Amino acid sequence: MGRETARSAAVEAITAAVAESGLEVERPREGSFLVTLPGRAKLKTLVWLEVGPHSLTLTSFFCRQPDENHADFYLWLMRRNADMYGMAFVADEVGDVYIRGRLPLEGVTPDEVDRLLGCVLTYSDENFNGALERGFASAIRKEWRWRAERGHDMRNLRSFAHLVGQGEDR
């Protein structure tokens, strides 16, 4: 299969997979897809799918660099890489974390795109709170206290109740 044929087939496969799933998608330029995945722990995960001349590249922002506990934060994420399909947690030059993957164009089918998007959502959603606990515990405690003092909604902080002292859980 020629390069342009493989590239066109990959674009068609992504288009079909996203349409079948009913996901929100933007097409900012030829061969690029920005897909929005709804989650639970991480309410929204954005995934870039870029069809290049030889491969499909997948990139999803996971979280910014941690405020604290850097070594444990990154080590915890790197250990998750061993069980991930077709992608891994990576850090950029400032320490922000992404999920990145690359697949040869010949392997891009609607089923494979669906599988990759499902994996990104799973890895992002299932690891988000654990990452925040390791790299942002002080900020979470501070936010908890601030909201509790003012009687603000604590709903999206409930999963971090174990990080705050007894009696602070409202």
Each residue's pLDDT tens digit, 143-153: 889 988 998 88
User: Taking 80 as the threshold, does the pLDDT of residue 112 lie above it?
Assistant: yes
**Which pair of tokens denotes residue 164?**
């705050």
Backbone φ and ψ of 68, nearest 5°: -155, 170
For residues 148 and 123, the model is more confident at 123
Query: In this structure, are residues 99 and 81 in contact, taking their beta carbons and an 8 Å threshold?
Result: no
Q: What is the CATH number of domain 3-135?
A: 3.30.1460.10
Return residue ranges of the chain for CATH 3.30.1460.10. Answer: 3-135
**Owner of token pair 């989650």:** 39
Query: How many Å separate Cα 89 from the centre of its chain?
Result: 9
